[in-house]
């Protein structure tokens, strides 16, 4: 296991997050004044991208992003200049369409950090296919990493890359078996300089019981073998959707960790039960943060 020693995992935006049944995905703008995340229904069959902006040191009330709220939108990710936002959606290709499709990667643009977002634009071929594409992450050189569910392979979800060359994206290809396996690999955050990657592996032998966050480093020969971030970060429930703010040296992620009590010394009153049900780490999908320490070093 690869641990965080003295760091403590804490709730992130708790008062805002608890307004929704489930919250996942963290995207923080380069200037730190805007946060986007996905808010979902209890069963996760409804999803919209939410935006929260900062006024001084105070976060304003959450709002549905201007381009979201009608279809199933998830997993926002800012470009390094903050003027393009990528996300996954099952929305129709036609702006006036009503019939949903498979999940594609889309993006919206703006001229400045103070402008509104454009209408969503589908990234098109070769990135989007008849398969589902999820969790876009774009680097400084505009290489695009994402998750694909490709039933034509013997694997399950895998991490793919589409390289940006001479103004065009190359056909997506899966990363090698140091990253992908016959199981589930998804939700990869890749550093803007492509020196490291943090992503979720599901139910591996060195896991803690469900999906855990793992790290890999870029070497002269490719990506290193992955290491579990350890139980200072991971739980025995699903831990996923990492985002790293290198300016504040903080890892943000989503977790379904559950510390609800199952036995009590005495019968509980209605107030005590509701307090227990309403605790942050009650099994709902919630946002967390932890200081990185020196874990980015190989």
Q: What is the CATH number for 131?
A: 2.120.10.30
Q: Dump the DSSP string for 38-86.
A: EEE-TTS--EEEEEEEEETTEEPPPEE-TT-SSS-EEEEEE-TTSSEEE
CA-based angle 131:47:243, to the nearest 5? 80
Identify the domain containing residue 276 by its residue range: 10-291
Pairwise CA distance, residues 36 & 73, whole Å: 12
- Please give the pLDDT value at position 129: 94
Whether residue 278 lies inside any domain: the answer is yes
Whether residue 287 lies inside any domain: the answer is yes
Whether residue 4 lies inside any domain: the answer is no
pTM of the model: 0.94
Whether residue 298 lies inside any domain: the answer is no
Whether residue 5 lies inside any domain: the answer is no
Could you read off the pLDDT tens digit of each residue along the chain, which spans 298 residues?
444 555 689 999 999 999 999 999 999 999 999 999 999 999 999 999 999 999 988 999 999 999 999 999 999 999 999 999 999 999 999 888 889 999 999 999 999 999 999 999 999 999 999 999 999 999 999 999 999 987 777 668 999 999 999 999 999 999 999 999 988 999 999 999 999 999 999 989 899 999 999 999 999 999 999 999 999 899 999 999 999 998 888 999 999 999 999 999 999 999 999 999 999 999 999 999 999 876 665 5
Whether residue 59 lies inside any domain: the answer is yes
Half-sphere exposure of 143 (CA within 13 A, CB side): 17
Whether residue 27 lies inside any domain: the answer is yes
Whether residue 229 lies inside any domain: the answer is yes
**Could you give the number of structural domains in the chain?**
1
- Please give the pLDDT value at position 156: 81
- Please give the pLDDT value at position 297: 59
């Amino acid at each position: 296991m690869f641990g965080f020693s003295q760091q403590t995992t804490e709730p992130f935006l708790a008062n805002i997050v608890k307004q929704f049944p489930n919250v996942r995905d963290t995207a923080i703008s380069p200037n730190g004044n805007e946060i986007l995340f996905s808010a979902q229904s209890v069963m996760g069959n409804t999803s919209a991208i939410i935006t929260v902006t900062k006024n001084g040191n105070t976060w304003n009330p959450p709002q549905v992003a201007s381009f979201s709220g009608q279809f199933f939108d998830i997993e926002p990710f800012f470009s390094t200049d903050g003027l393009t936002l990528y996300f996954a959606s099952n929305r129709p290709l036609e702006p006036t369409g009503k019939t949903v499709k498979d999940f594609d990667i889309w993006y919206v643009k703006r001229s400045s950090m103070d402008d509104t977002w454009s209408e969503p634009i589908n990234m098109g071929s070769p990135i989007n296919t008849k398969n589902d594409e999820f969790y876009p992450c774009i680097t400084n050189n505009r290489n695009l990493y994402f998750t694909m569910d490709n039933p034509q392979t013997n694997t399950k979800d895998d991490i793919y890359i589409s390289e940006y060359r001479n103004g065009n994206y190359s056909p997506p290809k899966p990363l090698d078996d140091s990253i992908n396996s016959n199981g589930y690999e998804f939700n990869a955050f890749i550093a803007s300089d492509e020196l490291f990657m943090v992503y979720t592996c599901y139910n591996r032998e060195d896991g803690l019981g469900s999906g855990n966050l793992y790290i890999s480093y870029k070497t002269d020969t490719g990506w290193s073998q992955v290491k579990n971030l350890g139980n200072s970060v991971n739980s025995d429930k699903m831990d996923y959707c990492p985002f790293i703010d290198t300016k504040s040296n903080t890892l943000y992620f989503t977790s379904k960790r559950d510390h609800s009590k199952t036995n009590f010394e005495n019968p509980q009153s209605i107030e005590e039960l509701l307090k227990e049900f309403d605790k942050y780490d009650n099994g709902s999908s919630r946002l967390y943060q932890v200081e990185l320490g020196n874990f980015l070093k190989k």
